[in-house]
Structure 1
Amino acid sequence: MRAGSPHPDDLFAAAVAGVIRARQLVELGLPETTVYRRCRDGGPWQRLAPGILLMATGHPTPDQLATAAVMHGGPGSMITGLHACHRYGVRRGPALPPALHLLVPHARQVRNTELMHVERTARLPAPIVRGGFPLAPPARAVIDAARRLRSRREITELVSDAVQRRLCTVTQLSAELTESGRRGSSTPRKVLQDVSAGVLSAAEADAKKLWQRSGLPEPWWNARVHDADGNLLGIADAWWDDVCLAWEINSFEWHLAPQDYAREQEKRARFAAAGVTVLPTLPRRLRTHRAQVIDELRKSYASAASRPRPDVRASPRDDGRQHGGLTGGIRQ
């Protein structure tokens, strides 16, 4: 280190998670030529956005990327899309993309970068701060993410997880989608119709398609089932009330934690003890063994119809905020 140059500890102390503006480094006494030389290929630093540096090599962490994005966007900017959803706790759906989605005021000219997609908007909401970062409200973040996705399955998982975690309601998502315009809205709109009807995961959407081919009456989706004393037995993914048949689309891969899987087994035991017929189906079989699953569904319905109806009561999901399904249904 040259005499008179700032001490490295002083440089890192001025940074946030290793992220700092180039002009701050110059103000601390580091020559501008040195700043940008260190950001060249093979150098110890890198540029995340114009004039914003990471004093490290390798891919930035989510916090480092978020810090740089907010610096780049300036006052009033906020994180939206999948990166915001992840910070709210949404875990189902697609993996985090390399590029962060950033909202900025419409009047501000801010460039896209390799790691940041900048969207200028006249509909800038009031941010919600999580972990020190300004985030678009959950409904806006989910819809901003969904409109950039192409996979109906991924959109369904994203939307259903946000609803099941009570971050937002189907009504709020539908209103946000209406306000967002037509671009990229077709598939999210279809998904919201499914979720509003009680289909709260991609696997349940697959199940709904198979039921439509089965010739059986339409079940209640995510129905609450109680015993004769009014105790909640559980929430059935699909429920035929006339014969007391519960169709459960569950597997360990869909649960958030081992204790959730244990609760699912306890729910199934309560159903069995109350005399409810339960047909369990693994999510992957809905796609790989469609004919077999339809046959099992028909036979289970016939078997349930052949025995006296047990003394249980069920209620259908009555709005867009009931939390049943592959993950929500086990949180009893």
Structure 2
Amino acid sequence: MNHNTPLSPRPLRHLSDVQQRVMTTAHLRSRGVSTADINTQCRLGGSWQQLLPGVFLLRPGPATIEERLHAVLMYAARSPVTEPAVPTQPGAGAGTGAGEAAAPQGYDDAMITGLAALALHRFASAPPLLSLDRVDVLVPRLRRLRSTGCVRIVRTPGMPEPVRIGGVPVAPVPRALADAVADITDAGVVRRLLTEAVRGNHCEPAAVVRELTHARLLSRPHVVDAVDSLLAEGRAIAEDRLYRLVREHGLPDPVWNVDLRLPGGPLLGGLDAYWPDHAVALELDTRAPRQDDDAMWSEYARKREHLERLGITVVHVTPKKLRDSMEQQATVVRTALMASGDRDPAAYVVVLPR
């Protein structure tokens, strides 16, 4: 037997090429390969090699990045590769029988996370996959696994929905960032990773801060400093999108970044855009989910209610809405401007630059 010898007559069409080169002990045994045969093939100078406990590469030579990633997932997954359904029609064979239905390939309860995931998401600030000594893999908290070799097990009480990149399940960017940042003490590296997440349109700052909060990383000063830079970056990008919304969708020019005040009275609050002739205000919600989020939301709600009692329509826009549905947000603003003629005149307010 060698690495070119068919393992069994069972079809492998449901497997990708790499999954036909990387297999677990269970897969090999299901194809008639005994433990003795596996040991023989993996001896010094043999045709196979063991990459991880119970995971084998069925060829000599260094493993490729793709083979390494699939080996990590095969080690960590509950069901490393989905088998085709058993034929149910009488007389159907194991080849191309009428009853066979090839199930999609996949890995249950395991996905790549951390720096390896960020590299797969094409982060320029993440190290290349070839340079990583280990690959982080996310699994449910109760899985009985341990880190070994190039695999570091990361546990979570709730698995996110993975992103498929080249057939590999990968943690979404916010979760991958949190798992990566947990082991990075270099403030500059953390800042570059978080900033690229926003500049590269991978996700919104609030999603990153939410994951960092869940991971209890906001008690670390260098992470807090990076988050402050992240929020400032996200704010600048959202404001630029807001300028584009007005310009590209033909809305009348507002006054930008102003405070409103009642004549002789207190400040009513700051606004990102205000149309005085229409009494329409727009506010970007760039709040990040932190411990004082409830207090911030209460303050925002009080300001909005106060303005609306004065006859001022407040349009609430999030950075995510500006990114994903700018045309729809432009329609919301335009509708508010057009409806101003049907409303009672708003109270007189003083507009001050911020």
Superposition TM-score, scaled by structure 1 size? 0.55
Deviation at 1:222, TM superposition (A): 11
* 2:115–2:126 Cα contact (<8 Å) kept: no
Deviation at 1:47, TM superposition (A): 1.7
How many residue pairs get aligned? The number is 216
Deviation at 1:188, TM superposition (A): 2.5
Deviation at 1:94, TM superposition (A): 3.1
Deviation at 1:42, TM superposition (A): 4.2
Alignment match of 2:211 (pick from 167, 176, 179)? 176
Alignment match of 1:133 (pick from 159, 168, 171)? 168
* 2:114–2:179 Cα contact (<8 Å) kept: yes
* 2:137–2:152 Cα contact (<8 Å) kept: yes
Structure 2 residue 96 is matched with structure 1 residue 99? no
Structure 2 residue 157 is matched with structure 1 residue 154? no
When residues 9 and 166 of structure 1 are mapped into structure 2, their CA distance, relative to the original with a 3 A threshold, is same
When residues 183 and 166 of structure 1 are mapped into structure 2, their CA distance, relative to the original with a 3 A threshold, is closer
Q: Secondary structure at the match of 2:233?
A: coil
Alignment match of 1:70 (pick from 73, 79, 94)? 73
Alignment match of 1:33 (pick from 31, 36, 41)? 36
Superposition TM-score, scaled by structure 2 size? 0.52
Aligned to 1:79: 112
Question: What whole-Å deviation, never above 9, does each CA across 1:204-235 have from its counterpart, x for those lacking one?
Answer: xxxxxxxxxxxxxxxx89986x9xxx79xxxx
Distance 2:214 2:207 in 1: 11
When residues 319 and 193 of structure 1 are mapped into structure 2, their CA distance, relative to the original with a 3 A threshold, is farther
Question: What whole-Å deviation, never above 9, does each CA across 1:36-61 have from its counterpart, x for those lacking one?
Answer: 23324443322222211112344422
* 1:79–1:101 Cα contact (<8 Å) kept: yes
Deviation at 1:80, TM superposition (A): 0.8
Higher relative contact order, structure no. (Cα contacts within 8 Å, ≥ 6 residues apart): 1
Distance 2:218 2:44 in 1: 38
Aligned to 2:310: none
Distance 2:25 2:128 in 1: 31
Aligned to 2:57: 54
Deviation at 1:81, TM superposition (A): 0.8
Distance 1:83 1:55 in 2: 24
Max Rg structure: 2
Aligned to 2:329: none
Question: What whole-Å deviation, never above 9, does each CA across 1:81-128 have from its counterpart, x for those lacking one?
Answer: 111112222122334312110111111101212111012221322222
Q: Secondary structure at the match of 1:91?
A: coil
Alignment RMSD (CA, Å): 3.8
Q: Secondary structure at the match of 1:198?
A: helix
Question: What whole-Å deviation, never above 9, does each CA across 1:282-308 have from its counterpart, x for those lacking one?
Answer: xxxxxxxxxxxxxxxxxxxxxxxxxxx
Q: Could you tell me which amino acid in structure 1 is paired with residue 109 of structure 2?
A: G
Which 5+ residue runs of structure 1 have no aligned equivalent? Answer: 201-219, 232-317, 324-332
Aligned to 1:283: none
Q: Secondary structure at the match of 2:124?
A: coil
Deviation at 1:13, TM superposition (A): 7.6
Structure 2 residue 54 is matched with structure 1 residue 21? no
Question: What whole-Å deviation, never above 9, does each CA across 1:235-285 have from its counterpart, x for those lacking one?
Answer: xxxxxxxxxxxxxxxxxxxxxxxxxxxxxxxxxxxxxxxxxxxxxxxxxxx
